[in-house]
Structure 1
């Protein structure tokens, strides 16, 4: 950034645009005057989306849960 912050990002794959945007977000977050805005407009929505996805997967998994039990058989 023009103010001197340098952002860093490691991203899987070859998507240079994704890595560039993540590095810019990192650089913006380093600026104390912009940190709250980055956290409220970028990080908080991403955290909410991740939590929602985890909850959805948890609910889908719980719906398919099978309880196995052993019945005691009488003597043959």
Structure 2
């Protein structure tokens, strides 16, 4: 994934004024997930999904706050992988 990120930077270098990396994480009773986006806030606004990961929630009853913590953990791992 890091190679795709580097290619995105090389191709869009002339258009990029400021690049932001956003990580979104969320959970429900059925699954939890995280996604990493690159956002160009310069001259030409552009968004790119860099990486996303989802997992099915365990069958045994886990509370939503614990699943939210698991989604945050996946978000940190996804950011580390993609950055």
- TM norm structure 2: 0.29
Higher strand proportion (structure 1 or 2): 2
Higher helix proportion (structure 1 or 2): 1
Max Rg structure: 1
